[in-house]
Amino acid sequence: MSVINLIQIALRALQRNKLRAFLTMLGIIIGVAAVIAMVAIGEGSKKSIQDQISSMGSNMITIRPNSNVSGGARLDATSVQSLTEDDIKALQKNMQYINAVSPAVSTRGQVINGAFNWSTSMQGVSPDYLTIRDWGVEDGISFSNSDVSAAAKVCLLGQTVVDNLFPNGESPIGKIIRFKTIPMKVIGVLKKKGENAFGQDQDDVILTPYTTVQKRILASIYFQNIYASAIDENSTDAATEEVSEVLRKTHKIRQGEDDDFAVRTQAELINTFSSTSQLLTVLLAAIAGISLVVGGIGIMNIMYVSVTERTREIGLRMSIGARGIDILLQFLIEAILISITGGLIGITLGITATKVVTAFLSWPTLVTQSSILISFMVCVVTGVFFGYYPAQKASRLDPIEALRYE
């Protein structure tokens, strides 16, 4: 008996009970649609977190002073001052996997433009900072290395600062503003960057040469952070190694001693956040998976009823020459057809539901190929698994008794 014949037979049997076949399918449809939609929502939030983190500069490496021991007491990381100009020079001299380095010193304060004032943070950085952060200047120009060496009183404004200091829409370029008591010339406006993954406004910032902050405001020779960027995403690990090695040398840290700095990459950050949302995806998928199993049990239930109800038909088929395997395959294919059809409808419904969620709730969603593939496979397996026992029961019937069954 050919498979085509078997599929024909199964299709005819399903046609005879369209409503029941559909209701049985419903369990699978809902299960698959739930899997697709839930995973899409989970994956979507994961993706949006990843995007946000990489918007901070995807190859960015952050170097911070580490908490350190001083006289037996462990000190707060921010109070430790270990990063200096020497580190920058050493990194610039040895860089192989990094293409840009920028120190960062920051301070908070009131910034004033005539009648308007605004409390913001000032970041003292080098011109490379914009490269590292993958950031651009929208209007005006950036400061140069000569501005750095001169500790020039020039600055770049973030969009939020512009909005608050120049609410009337005039161009800030060339204007003199005051940060605390120091007058500074605005030479550029930064592109809008939006919120970062933690919900902080990245545009609420003033960038200025680091020397300006160090010499004119903080009177310090230390940096709070050093930012670097790896030449590409794949070499972040090598770049991390390189940075550690160089800094251990310049800080004269002996073998076996703890670093007095910490090197972190965006990839680590992405992993941390991804693993949280990965957990979310797994939980959602598990809930959806349970509904798929329930759907499978529905199929099994109906197939058992169907076998009992069609005992005479089975007897007849056997008497006209159906072998046990033919009967087994007939019922198995019926179950698989139900689950596959249900699966396909479920996939369509799931994708539609995902689109609806995105359109009306504007949640980030991402339908992955793997979720479609996996849920479809699970459908087939469900059909085979839950269809097999009823089918086997049918195939083992005695034709004599089946024919006389009332």
Partner 1 sequence: MSEKILEIKNLKREFKMGSEIVRALKGVSFDIYAGEFVTIMGSSGSGKTTMLNVLGCLDKPTDGEYLLDGNNIKKLNKNELARLRNRKIGFVFQAYNLLPRTSALENVELPLLYNSDISAKQRREKAMWALEAVKLAERLHHTPSQLSGGQQQRVAIARALVNEPVMLLADEATGNLDSRTSYEIMALMQDLNVNQGKTIVFVTHEPDIASFSSRTVMLKDGKLIKDSRNESLRSAREVLDALPVSDDY
CB 181 within 8 A of CB 98: no
Q: Which two tokens stand for residue 151?
A: 């500790």
Which residue in 225, 241, 230 sits closest to 266, CA to CA? 230
In the complex, least distance from residue 338 CB atom to partner 1, rounded to whole angstroms: 18
When the beta carbons of 2 and 362 are compared against partner 1, the nearer one is 2
Question: How far is it, in rounded angstroms, from Cα 384 to Cα 98?
Answer: 54
CB 238 within 8 A of CB 99: no
When the beta carbons of 133 and 317 are compared against partner 1, the nearer one is 317
CB 189 within 8 A of CB 175: no
Question: How far is it, in rounded angstroms, from Cα 170 to Cα 185?
Answer: 15
In the complex, least distance from residue 402 CB atom to partner 1, rounded to whole angstroms: 10
When the beta carbons of 13 and 28 are compared against partner 1, the nearer one is 13
In the complex, least distance from residue 1 CB atom to partner 1, rounded to whole angstroms: 5
Provide the binding-site residues for partner 1, judged by CB under 8 A.
1-2, 5, 8-9, 12, 16, 312-313, 315-326, 399-400, 403
When the beta carbons of 180 and 323 are compared against partner 1, the nearer one is 323
Task: Give the sign of the dihedral formed by CA 115, CA 116, CA 122, CA 126.
Answer: negative
When the beta carbons of 3 and 115 are compared against partner 1, the nearer one is 3
In the complex, least distance from residue 18 CB atom to partner 1, rounded to whole angstroms: 10
User: Per DSSP, what are the bridge partners of residue 209?
Assistant: 125
| Phi and psi at residue 322, to the nearest 5° | -75, 135
CB neighbourhood size of 366 (10 A):
17
Strands 225-230 and 98-113 turn out to be: antiparallel
User: Per DSSP, what are the bridge partners of residue 20?
Assistant: none
In the complex, least distance from residue 303 CB atom to partner 1, rounded to whole angstroms: 18
When the beta carbons of 219 and 320 are compared against partner 1, the nearer one is 320
When the beta carbons of 191 and 404 are compared against partner 1, the nearer one is 404
In the complex, least distance from residue 320 CB atom to partner 1, rounded to whole angstroms: 4
In the complex, least distance from residue 17 CB atom to partner 1, rounded to whole angstroms: 9
CB 90 within 8 A of CB 246: yes
In the complex, least distance from residue 310 CB atom to partner 1, rounded to whole angstroms: 9
Q: Percentage helix, strand, coil, to 5, in the chain?
A: 60, 20, 25
Question: How far is it, in rounded angstroms, from Cα 222 to Cα 114?
Answer: 32
- Alpha-carbon distances, residue 1 vs 7, 67, 327, 337, 361 (angstroms): 11, 76, 11, 18, 52
When the beta carbons of 5 and 110 are compared against partner 1, the nearer one is 5
Name residues whose C-beta falls within 8 Å of residue 76's C-beta, 6 or more positions apart in sequence: 67
CB 62 within 8 A of CB 195: no
- Alpha-carbon distances, residue 279 vs 41, 182, 293, 306, 326 (angstroms): 12, 49, 21, 40, 45
When the beta carbons of 18 and 93 are compared against partner 1, the nearer one is 18
When the beta carbons of 14 and 125 are compared against partner 1, the nearer one is 14
In the complex, least distance from residue 324 CB atom to partner 1, rounded to whole angstroms: 7
In the complex, least distance from residue 386 CB atom to partner 1, rounded to whole angstroms: 25
